[in-house]
Chain A
Amino acid sequence: MEIFSNMLIYFVIIPVLTLAGLALTKNKGIDAIRAVAVTGATALVALAIYLVVVFLHARAAGDTSDMILQTSVTWYEPLNIKLALGVDGVSVVMILLSAFIVFAGVFASWKMDPLPKQFFLWFFLLSTGVFGFFISVDLFTMFMFYEVALIPMYLLIGVWGSGNKTYSAMKLTLMLMGGSAFLMLGLIGIYFHSAPEGQPLTMNILEIAKNDAIPHQWQYYLFPLTFVGFGVLGAMFPFHTWSPDGHASAPTAVSMLHAGVLMKLGGYGCFRIAIFLMPFAAQQLGWIFLTLTGISIVYGAFSACVQTDLKYINAYSSVSHCGMVLFAILMFNKTAMTGAVLQMLSHGLMTALFFALIGMIYGRTHTRDIREMGGLMHIMPYLGVGYVIAGFASLGLPGLSGFVAEMTIFVGSFEHQDMFRRVLTIAATTSIVITAVYILRVVGKLLYGAVQDEHHRTLTDADATERISTATLILAVAIIGCFPNFFIDIIRDSFTPVVKALTSVM
């Protein structure tokens, strides 16, 4: 079998094997369940690191093709559906991020109760979808994996969540699936215009881009469909409302995975399908979505200022930061798009760190309301310092990942000659200040304010597993902040084809 000689397929096979392994464990055998989950997650991280090495090696050896490790195996022959794999710099980085978040997520749900086995089953099914999405270059398989990644959220939030969980889970699932309804129609439309008249249709993204056969009047319909379809997952205003509720109700590891990885599927899909395949409509209609994402950025930041629940603060902050990803992608130049991917990385790690810390704090104080907490820095200094670092990364302190990402995005956006885009960029930069407001407000109140509950004085600091998972994430945030060039070099060239396509239709 040709496909098994491609290492990419193992990003799907490993989670599936983990699923099989978990299915064989006993419900009560918590040690076996943990062992299987950790093995699967570790294997994924190892494979992801190996993929980065392979990618760098291929580029160093002078392989300049758009995607490396391409394989295509026919699946549904009558409909030209293939299992087509391939990665470029963006997908490599995204896979690396996902592997790390999955790894951290497994440790964050170490004491998951009840039904740990079922939790990890759904957790790895979600991972299967995420990895499958990033390695596919076929519209159908990509869409299939996209939906595979969405549906486990329903049960992960519904069963293991907290608060108003059934409502949030249903809202999240229906809104995301609603987005995928738009998406499916868009993909069907793209498929039927994928090749010039008389030539065989295809679902392969690279071939469609090469054919460049989608008529301009169709692009006007198909671009909004696909962009909105993915934009829902990217928390684009006004389709972001699932995000705060969903995040607030989800268990820690699920929030991490969701904000850290799943929301990136949206940005990645917008870039890979909507803009790459329909550059003409992207140029024509980009301003509408640019405005919407601009609103997301500022509105998300303002909303975070007035929230009192730690998870809601972070969820709105996610809306703002993810808005920046879509905003940067819509700037259509290399610098801004590189910034978008850096922002995905930065936001993924930073939000995962935030949610992990919030989960740990909540596990001790049993409240997430900042009005009921205070002075935690003296009580749990490790978690407190972690929270401050995450906050600094969020507001863009140099040396941490957020600074690099936002700097690149705004420099890239301002490079644009268009006055409209420049004005929007200036408006969007205000979010940095607003972010500082809500982060510092929380830090001041939560960590340095007066102790609100005498009972909190008896709480303990982070234990060993918690220290490991937070330290890993903090380290990752700092590495991106200090050595961004390593990632920029991987990402940068991936945008050549899409920028070329965009400039050719100007």
Chain B
Amino acid sequence: MDYSQFLMMPQEIGLLVVFLLVFLYDTFMPSKTLKGLPLFATIVFGIFTIFSFFPVQDGMAFGDMFESNKATWAMKNILNIGMFIVLLQSIKWANSDFVAIRRGEFYELMLLTLFGMYLMISGRHFLVFVIGLETASLPLATLVAFEKKYYESHEAAAKYVLTAVFSSAIMLLGLSFVYGITGTLYFSEIASSVQGDNSLLLIVALAFLISGVGYKLSLVPFHLWTADVYQGAPTMVTSYLSVISKGSAAFAFFVIMVQVFGAAYAQIWEWMLYAIIVITITVGNLFAIRQRNLKRFLAFSSISQAGYIMLGVVAANAVGMASMMYYILVYIFSNLAAFGVIAVIERKTGKVTTDDYNGLFKTNPWLAFVMMLAMFSLGGIPPFAGFFSKFFIFLGAAQTHNVAIYVLVFIALVNTIVSLYYYLLVVKAMFIRQDECAIPAFKSHWTEKAGLIICTLGIILIGLVSCIYTSLSDITTSLTSMFSMI
């Protein structure tokens, strides 16, 4: 075996080193020093995040099962940034009374799931992809059940693990069909052998595959677990589920759809995805309007956001891919800002409903301000980043010059207005409504503040500073071989 292949995966190795360091710290350090574990894990991961920005070598490894290129590199960095913010925000929570004894597990499992996502992103063989997907899903079930004392947390974990297993089974069935048709699980080989072959079996296989990944992305109609799991899971895990897990799945989905089934694009999966996007955005939005629990509210909001992300997949071109990655980055900052505020308030007061936020601006102006920015960014209001990401992803989709896609963009735009309504409801509660017993003023921990400041800067700057989108666009336009099928 050629061991130099491992040089193709510096980010994976770096992540494993971080994992091992955290594991060794957790196992061998005296229990008095364990209070420092969360901070240690965050700092080590932060260092890793910075180092992983060093460019990587392009190429395939391990018998073409693993690909490393600029797009996977960029996507992993985007996930790293989000992961770092999540870890930073969870420090105080991880040291709280009931969680403290298991804080080591929390960080180890988080890092492991991230490793699974790396494999999903870089895998160019369905076996690697499935291993990545499972590594990313199953430890998350444990994390969802982390708050042992809460009944909701158990229920959520049970729901999560059952749907995860069920959807994996369906996806594997789909993959077995693909294997039956083509006799291989390599992306590139499947792509060349399904060309021109649009048999019913392939359509079924595609449908099964889409439903398997659709579950990870919580696309409608595979979204039923989302609201309950988001509500029951610890807020930190929810925020992780809603952005990082979703982002990695979206990227992997894009690669599979374009690279493997690109030839079947116009006939089959474009229209499957078309229908899924329409119902995902609409259902997500309509259900979000009625939610009073902010975690459930953001669950439905994230369902509809996933629909917007999928517009990049329907576009299936370089602009769509760059816009999708950019959208995920912006979404990471916006959603983590919202969840950061929710987590801080939940930790201090235990309150999570919209009505509890009445008059928040009077008592905690900064938290209200950050929450407002997050809502505006999610709703696509300029000059915040969400506006740019929405505009670009619409532009990417419309570039296909298909009138039906224009209609899709129009539906998405109308839904943006609906989403603005419920995002404004939160702003209304914080700024306009008054309440005698509003959440009292309090000071949050510096790590939480730091996390929120990073998110705020991200929301304000990512849109106005064009270099991030430009470099993503340069990366995706250089992947010419990827879009050759469409």
Contacts and interface: CB of A to CB of B under 8 A. Distances in A.
User: Is B a genuine binding partner of A?
Assistant: yes
Interface of A: 75-79, 81, 140, 144-145, 147-148, 151, 154-155, 158-159, 165-166, 169-170, 173-174, 177-178, 181-182, 184-185, 188-189, 191-192
B349 interface: no
Given A147-B382, A166-B432, 11 more contacts: A75-B466, A77-B466, A77-B470, A78-B469, A78-B470, A78-B473, A81-B466, A144-B387, A155-B427, A155-B432, A188-B394
Contact of A189 (B381, B406, B424, B466): B406
Contacts of B421: 170, 174
| Top 8 A-B residue pairs of the complex, sorted by shortest distance between their CB atoms | A78-B473, A181-B413, A158-B432, A144-B382, A188-B398, A76-B466, A147-B382, A178-B417
Interface string B397-433: 0110100001001100110110011001001100110
Contacts of B391: 140, 184
B477 interface: yes
A145 B381 CA distance: 10
A177 B420 contact: yes
B417 A147 contact: no
B458 interface: no
19 contacts: A78-B322, A78-B470, A78-B477, A79-B319, A140-B391, A151-B376, A151-B381, A155-B431, A155-B432, A158-B431, A159-B432, A166-B428, A181-B416, A182-B413, A185-B410, A185-B413, A188-B394, A188-B409, A192-B401
A459 B314 CA distance: 66
Nearest to B463: A144
Contact of B406 (A77, A147, A185): A185
A187 B152 CA distance: 46
Contacts of B10: none
B383 interface: yes
A158 B424 CA distance: 11
Interface residues of B, number: 34
Given A78-B469, A154-B427, A181-B413, A189 B420 contact: no
A147 B432 contact: no
Nearest to B409: A185
Interface in B446-471: 466, 469-470
Kindly name the residue among A79, A165, A174, A192 whose own CB sees the greatest number of chain B CB atoms within 10 A. A79
A158 B426 CA distance: 13
Contacts of B414: 178, 181
Contact of A79 (B382, B387, B395, B431): B395
A339 to B, nearest CB: 33
Given A166-B432, A188-B409, A174 B417 contact: yes
A140 B424 CA distance: 24
A189 B402 CA distance: 11
B368 to A, nearest CB: 11
B392 interface: yes
A140 B420 CA distance: 20
Contacts of A148: 382-383
Best-surrounded residue of B322, B382, B420, B466 (most CB of chain A within 10 A): B382
B160 to A, nearest CB: 35
Nearest to A161: B432
A173 B319 contact: no
Nearest to A27: B365
Given A78-B470, A78-B473, A79-B392, A189 B398 contact: yes
Contacts of A189: 398, 406
Contact of A147 (B387, B392, B409, B413): B387
A178 B420 CA distance: 10
Nearest to A128: B383
Contacts of A188: 394-395, 398, 409
Contacts of B416: 177, 181
A79 B398 CA distance: 13
Contact of B398 (A75, A166, A177, A192): A192
Contacts of A145: 382
Contacts of A151: 376, 381
Contacts of B376: 151
A159 B431 CA distance: 7
A170 B427 CA distance: 11
Contact of A76 (B382, B387, B417, B470): B470
Contacts of B395: 79, 188, 191
Contacts of A78: 319, 322, 469-470, 473-474, 477
A170 B470 contact: no
Contact of B399 (A75, A166, A173, A192): A192
Contacts of A184: 391, 394, 413
Contacts of A77: 466, 470
Contacts of A75: 466
Contacts of A140: 391
A81 B323 CA distance: 14
B466 to A, nearest CB: 5
Nearest to B394: A188
A505 to B, nearest CB: 24
Contacts of B322: 78
A88 to B, nearest CB: 25
A174 B420 contact: yes
A381 to B, nearest CB: 38
B319 A147 contact: no
A390 B432 CA distance: 33
Contacts of A169: 432
B380 to A, nearest CB: 9
A170 B469 contact: no
A33 B414 CA distance: 39
A182 B417 CA distance: 11
A362 B409 CA distance: 46
Contacts of B420: 173-174, 177
A140 B394 CA distance: 13
Interface string B342-365: 000000000000000000000000
A181 B380 CA distance: 11
Contact of B424 (A79, A170, A178): A170
A79 B474 CA distance: 11
A170 B383 contact: no
Contacts of B477: 78
Nearest to B464: A75
B289 to A, nearest CB: 12
A184 B391 CA distance: 8
Contacts of B470: 76-78
Contacts of B474: 78
A78 B392 CA distance: 11
A162 to B, nearest CB: 13
Max chain A C-beta neighbours (<10 A), residue from B319, B398, B416, B432: B432
Nearest to B390: A184
Interface string B283-325: 0000000000000000000000000000000000001001000
Contacts of B383: 144, 148
A245 to B, nearest CB: 16
A147 B379 CA distance: 12
Interface in B64-101: none
A184 B322 CA distance: 20
A188 B469 CA distance: 18
A76 B413 contact: no
